[in-house]
Structure 1
Amino acid sequence: MSAGKILIVEDEPKIAQLLVDYLERDDFTVSVLHEGTDAVETVKSEVPDFVILDLMLPGKDGLSICREVRQFSNTPILMLTAKVDEIDRLIGLEIGADDYVCKPFSPREIVARVRTILRRVQQVPAPQTDDIVHYREVTLQIDKYECTVSEQRIELTPVEFRLLHGLMERPGRVFSRDQLMDICYADERVVSDRTIDTHIKNLRKKIEPSADRVLVHSIYGVGYKID
């Protein structure tokens, strides 16, 4: 039985094949594209459980692909990049990438991250009541990973969904960035405070235009709350 379908979009054949070997060894079904031109259509047609996406690709770059995929899918995306600059990482997070790995990398690390992210996505968070969490205009259907604001469907990435769910479980409580990182990243990876700030910014852009008022508030020097 397959552990899941993985789409790899990577223009370096040796790197792609190395990932294929390790992922198939772990019982994943893997398909590969060596350029970005058809990546978005392939995600639509194949509906993979996970996408491993190189940043620099011929035909269409990884950021553009990620941005387009996020218009219709919350499929987890792990981006591969040779760029280590924080700005590049934040740009990726802003358009919905779930995680980054910088080249060179260990293929075992990639498999571990894929499994960790899939496990988080597939786990149903503890429900508040009947798998529905509601606060003001916002409703989360936990079992479906669906968010509505004023009855309008809002597409959230898995990280954004977990972040909003954590805030909504305790309205008025101020969460530190460290606490929000624990909510978003159950594998206790090291991420920067700026990463949480970026997720919060993206979350506000998505949910607050449909709400009657500001929902997520920043508390200077402390963290964030929903109120």
Structure 2
Amino acid sequence: MRLLLVEDDNHVAAALSAVLARHGFSVTHARSGEEALRALVPDSDGYDVVLLDLGLPDQDGYEVCGKIRKRTSTPVIMVTARSDVRSRIHGLNLGADDYVVKPYDTGELLARIHAVSRRTHHEDGPAGDSALLLGPVRIELPTRQVSVDGKVVQLTRKEFDLLALLAQRPGVVFRREQIISEVWRTSWEGTGRTLEVHVASLRAKLRMPALIETVRGVGYRLVAPAA
């Protein structure tokens, strides 16, 4: 996932970029509003999310948010120390998708990033793109139903969320931290064992042990089976 981090403090940006990289993000750092706007050139490959700090040296962060929204539909998460309701409402009215107040929990920030990205990709997808087809596996996103060769497989909520996450990008390796952040909404390392149990359960229930591949030391990826 590509993320544009707009932050004028190099120390803060370096620390946050390192955390984001560990969770599978490719981070581009912009140190000013103008630099951020140059990075968001229309018709470029673009970014999945913009993380926008409001305390910028050249322009007001709210003004930058408004300009971003005029040129791209990329989701914007505002990051600021301003916690009053009026400031939040103003940011949302300018087109921000979410608003995070400093100091924030890293796990919460990661969850919000994944949430706005997921909502945007769902809204931008084709109207008929409500199911993921992976060989004999069919994943119905609206009804949260999974079937193999036409037979419905009963999954728990977390099992479905895990499978749907991997299935949206077959062949792409998802880091363990990224999966835990999105599916369990936490950065707690103790969840790692829970992830392993859910992967094992999915393999057993779907009767396709090779469907989810373990990438040692990194995470998991879904290997799309032949039709």
Q: Normalization by structure 2: what TM-score?
A: 0.52
Q: Spell out, residue by residue over 1:169-207, the C-alpha distance to the aligned partner (whole angstroms, 9 max, x if none).
A: xxxxxxxxxxxxxxxxxx9xxxxxxxxxxxxxxxxxxxx
The within-5 A match list for 1:1-227 is 4-44=1-41, 45=44, 47-123=46-122
- State the structure with more CA Rg: 2
* Counterpart amino acid of residue 56 in structure 1: G
Where does structure 1 lack aligned partners over 5 or more consecutive residues?
132-186, 188-227
SS at the partner of 1:60? Answer: coil
Deviations 1:59-90 (A, max 9, x none): 11211111011112110000001111111111
Report SS of the residue matched to 2:70: coil
Query: In the alignment, residue 11 of structure 1 is paired with which amino acid?
Result: D
Change (3 A) 1:56 1:46: farther
Q: Secondary structure of the equivalent of 1:70?
A: helix
CA distance in 2 between partners of 1:96 and 1:5 (Å):
20
Q: Which moved more, 1:6-15 or 1:115-124?
A: 115-124
**CA 126–47 in structure 1, closer or farther in 2 if over 3 Å, else same:** closer
Q: Say whether the 8 Å CA contact 1:37–1:58 is kept in structure 2.
A: no
- Report if aligned partners of 1:81, 1:103 keep a CA contact under 8 Å in 2: yes
Q: Does structure 2 retain, via aligned residues, the 8 Å contact 1:18–1:107?
A: no
Residue 60 and residue 119 in structure 1: after superposition, are their counterparts in 2 closer, same or farther (change >3 A)?
same
Cα root mean square deviation, aligned: 2.8
Normalised by the length of structure 1, the TM-score is 0.52
Equivalent residue letter for 1:15: V
Deviation per CA, 1:153-181, whole angstroms, max 9, x where unpaired? xxxxxxxxxxxxxxxxxxxxxxxxxxxxx
Would you say the 8 A contact 1:11–1:35 is kept in 2? yes
Aligned to 1:181: none
Q: Is the 8 A contact 1:22 1:108 kept in 2?
A: no
Task: Give distance in 2, aligned partners of 1:25 and 1:50.
Answer: 17
For residue 37 of structure 1, what is the amino acid of its counterpart? E
The Cα shift of 1:13 comes to 2.0
Change (3 A) 1:86 1:26: same
Q: Which secondary structure state, in structure 2, belongs to the residue aligned with residue 71 of structure 1?
A: helix
Q: Whole-Å Cα distance in 2 between the matches of residues 125 and 51 of structure 1?
A: 17
After TM superposition, the structure 1 stretch with the greater mean CA deviation from structure 2, 55-64 or 106-115, is 106-115
Report the number of matched residues: 130
User: Offset at 1:22?
Assistant: 1.5
Gaps of 5+ in 2: 130-183, 185-227
Which amino acid counterpart does residue 119 of structure 1 have in structure 2? Answer: R
2:74 match: secondary structure: coil
Q: Could you report, residue by residue, the CA deviation over 1:98-129 in whole angstroms, capped at 9, with x for unpaired residues?
A: 001111112222112111211222225999x8
Task: Rate the CA distance shift 1:39–1:93 in 2: closer, same or farther, 3 A.
Answer: same
